Chains A and B, each alone.
Chain A
Amino acid sequence: MKIMVAVKRVVDYAVKIRVKPDKTGVETTNVKMSMNPFCEIALEEALRIRESGLAKEVVAVSVGPAQCTDTLRTALAMGADRAVHVDSGAAHVQPLSVAKILRALVQAEQPGLLILGKQAIDDDCNQTGQMVAGLLQWPQGTFASKVVLDKEKQKATVEREVDGGIETICLELPAVITTDLRLNQPRYATLPNIMKAKSKVIKKVTPEELNVELRPDIEIIQVTEPPKRKAGVILSSVDELIDKLKNEARVL
């Protein structure tokens, strides 16, 4: 079985984000970029499944500008067998477009599993996995905190982290899984694997070649910083609290 993993290049999680002065977005020039943490978890899960013998090949794919190849090189260094870069140039790509592109890639590659991070830490959309499952008419297991494959029966048992607790569902393959934080601890790319990645292939395609038109469905009107947190106030009694809630915060 082949596993396809979609990864996204985002601003590194440790960077202090700054909003651009014209409020059209956040500052990304000269800012450290990395693989989205949930995508790392998705890739790690795919690698573990391959290492357990239940899959033969892990293909990493990414939609984005030329620098995406850095992210794909990291995926190869972690252990993916090959990669596909869908070059979207300078266009700002949105979940529905990515979902359509992934559908085209899935139809070409025919993987048994498509694994993605549950959301990207830049836009926090949490949509792409669900949309591509809908487009493919595939079952989906989102927010996965545990994945167990039964290759013989061609099923995946997925434990999902939902608001009420853990939900366990069973999916028939092929299926889409999106990963949550506690699914696994991604590996570091060791030097031998980094060197081996040098000879692995990154295939480049364009959205046009996949018959996908990159048409933005969402227009970003404005990006602003959240209001600064104000200092708290220590009160001396419950009466004072009620008074402030009533007369200052006006929530009572």
Chain B
Amino acid sequence: MSPFELSAEHETFRRTVRDFAEKEVAPHCAAWDREHQFPLDAVRAMGDLGLFGLTAPEEYGGAGLAGDGGFTSLCVAIEEIGRIDQSLGITLEAAVGLGINPILTFGDEEQKRTWLPDLVAGTALAGFGLTEPGAGSDAGATRTRAVLDDGEWVVDGAKQFITNSGSAITSLVTVTARTGEREDGRPEISAIMVPAGTPGFTAEKAYDKLGWNASDTHPLSFDGCRVPAANLLGERGRGYAQFLSTLDDGRVAIAALAVGCIQACLDHCVAYAGERTTFGGPIGRKQGVAFQIADLETMLHAARLLTYRAAAMKDAADAGRAVSTKDFKQAAAVAKLYATESAVSATRIATQVFGGYGFMEEYPVARGAGDLYPRAVAAPRLVLASASPARLATLRAAGLDPEVVVSGVDEEQVERTEPADYVLRLAQLKAVAVAAREPRSLVIGCDSVLELDSEILGKPHTAEEATRRWQDMRGRAGVLHTGHCLIDTHREVWLARSAATQVRFADVSDEEIAAYVASGEPLEVAGAFTLDGKGGAFVAGITGDPHNVVGISLPLLRIMVDELGFAWTDLWA
């Protein structure tokens, strides 16, 4: 077995959790997300499968595998559940990492025997109340207070964003509270276990979050809440330090959750890119799509290797093998950073591959994107990345009012290939160059070329070139290709499409050509004419969208705007 692979037992276990997730979670998770419903049955089923006990000793009902790959199995379970539903994945991760782990690590025998069996069985859930409205990473800012009075802790304060803290099966929340002052004047922070239902402890109404809608997250309030002094968890004054020491495991577990998300994005993209056809073939054959999916796969492998490397270090340390704490901490941080950032990219790529459908609720990528991205789609600021007056005039006439920002891209530098492909690349280059400087905008990049008998005609710069051009074109039909690239710089999504219109040129005389060239109409305009200018009379007819001939296809732009999730009519100034 290669050191870079999980053991056969872990792979068998992966299959178990995957089968479970596909059969018991997949059919329902979209409904849970939509209805913001906490899935009690699924939590119980995960408990029956032993998922909450993977890192707990047998005496509390756990698998008893600490040091025998138990932590890696937990990561595998979180990954596979997260692959199907990120909400349920975080429920599992928080239940074990924040609920069970602190009690298991710092609790005394009495506390462990009282609370662990139900938590390990998955019939109860515990939360960890650290975060407050004014304090997250800054422990010193903790304002929740606990005062020892007549053998009881009296807790007052508020907590924010606490997972698993208010579900129907929540049994307790361990909260950090200021229990005094240290010699150096800094606050003494201790961890105190508060059972659900204790008078004075309220789990307020659950949040309406942007994502993870099926996960149970509440603000908590404590008002003269009394618990026995024996509910102190671990050492007095060591509450925050104790929590920090469990954070490294949490980082690896979150990394595993992110790996599940990336795997799901890849699976969905590969399936969709193979099925969805445009222009006669599956979109997976277009390099633009294929390259992005290749990026996805690369990120997946890297994230997975980093995650399970860190998990293996933890298991080795638990087995008594020499592993430096510093090395593990770094491995955990690296895994978490890379995996979670990659997961954000993965959902962005998936949304692009799915195009408009990426925003449709029925498609899983929408939930993924929502879990990681804001879904605001207010009317954006329009930017036209083109110097062409004709394009601006077309958009203005259609009711839009873009700002013009010239890209400065040198078209001569781009290699001439197939016309449709060439204009697409130029349009993308122009849009990208401008998008880099325009945050929170919808950037439109365009480029047009005239194709005559499979030859791309360059722009005439002199009167002689223009004259020769018209002599070439007269009496013939060409195709005007316009590439369009739309970039939403706020959500970092983009689309690129091209439109083609056939143009038939009238049989003009040499005198008419000379007069036209001398007339003062701009020569650099592609084809050296505009339909609306003097050259309009020299066009015998067109087949296709007329605006496309002038440099921008309004019908295509409307479709692209729609696919990006905006309403065309919202863009009317």
Contact = CB atoms under 8 A, between A and B. Distances in A.
A74 B12 CA distance: 8
B42 interface: no
A97 to B, nearest CB: 29
Contacts of B65: 191-192, 195
Contacts of A192: 50, 63-65
A190 B77 CA distance: 11
B12 A73 contact: yes
A77 interface: yes
A194 interface: yes
Contact of A195 (B9, B16, B20): B9
A14 B8 CA distance: 23
Contact of A191 (B19, B22, B63): B63
B68 interface: yes
B409 interface: no
B54 interface: yes
Interface string B61-72: 001110010000
A64 B9 CA distance: 22
Interface in A210-232: none
B395 interface: no
Nearest to B45: A188
Interface in A64-81: 73-74, 77
A91 interface: no
Contacts of B63: 190-192, 195
A250 interface: no
B551 to A, nearest CB: 43
A73 B10 CA distance: 13
Contact of A77 (B12, B54, B68, B73): B12
Given A74-B12, A195-B9, A188 B20 contact: yes
Contact of B50 (A73, A77, A190): A190
Nearest to B7: A198
Interface in B49-91: 49-50, 54, 63-65, 68, 73
Contacts of B20: 188
Interface residues of B, number: 16
A194 B16 contact: yes
A191 B12 CA distance: 9
B13 interface: yes
Nearest to A188: B16
Interface in B1-59: 8-9, 12-13, 16, 19-20, 22, 49-50, 54
Interface in B139-171: none
A190 B19 CA distance: 12
A14 to B, nearest CB: 8
Contacts of A197: 9
A241 interface: no
A15 to B, nearest CB: 13
Contact of B68 (A188, A189, A195): A195
A186 to B, nearest CB: 10
B319 to A, nearest CB: 14
Interface string B257-297: 00000000000000000000000000000000000000000
Contacts of A188: 16, 19-20, 49
B64 A198 contact: no
Contacts of A77: 12, 16
Residues of A contacting B: mostly: helix
Interface string A186-206: 001111101101100000000
A198 B1 CA distance: 15
A190 B64 CA distance: 12
Contacts of B22: 14
Interface centre among A77, A194, A197 (most CB of B within 10 A): A194
A198 B49 CA distance: 19
B21 to A, nearest CB: 11
A197 B16 CA distance: 14
Contacts of A74: 12
Nearest to A198: B9
Interface string B408-448: 00000000000000000000000000000000000000000
Most interface-central of B9, B12, B63, B65 (chain A CB within 10 A) = B12
A197 B49 CA distance: 17
A31 B12 CA distance: 17
B49 A190 contact: yes
Interface in A14-36: 14
A34 to B, nearest CB: 9
Nearest to B19: A188
B555 to A, nearest CB: 31
A196 to B, nearest CB: 10
Contacts of B73: 191
A197 B19 CA distance: 19
Contact of A189 (B8, B12, B54, B64): B12
A194 B50 contact: no
B385 to A, nearest CB: 44
A194 B9 contact: yes
A88 B310 CA distance: 42
A73 to B, nearest CB: 7
A192 B22 CA distance: 21
Contacts of B54: 191
A192 B68 CA distance: 11
A73 B20 CA distance: 18
A195 B12 CA distance: 10
Contacts of A194: 9, 12-13, 16
A74 B65 CA distance: 19
Interface string A37-50: 00000000000000
Interface in A97-122: none
B261 to A, nearest CB: 22
A190 B16 contact: yes
A77 B12 CA distance: 9
B44 to A, nearest CB: 14
A77 B54 CA distance: 16
Contacts of A190: 16, 49-50, 63
A14 B22 CA distance: 11
A11 B19 CA distance: 15
Contacts of A14: 22
A101 B315 CA distance: 44
Contacts of A198: 9
Interface centre among B63, B64, B68, B73 (most CB of A within 10 A): B63
Q: Which of A74, A77, A188, A190 has the most CB of B within 10 A?
A: A188
Given A191-B13, A191-B54, 8 more contacts: A73-B8, A77-B16, A188-B20, A190-B16, A191-B73, A194-B12, A195-B65, A195-B68
19 contacts: A73-B8, A73-B12, A77-B16, A188-B20, A188-B49, A190-B16, A190-B49, A190-B50, A191-B9, A191-B50, A191-B63, A192-B50, A192-B63, A192-B64, A192-B65, A194-B13, A195-B65, A197-B9, A198-B9
Shortest beta-carbon contacts, A-B, top 8:
A190-B50, A192-B63, A189-B16, A188-B16, A191-B63, A191-B13, A194-B12, A194-B9
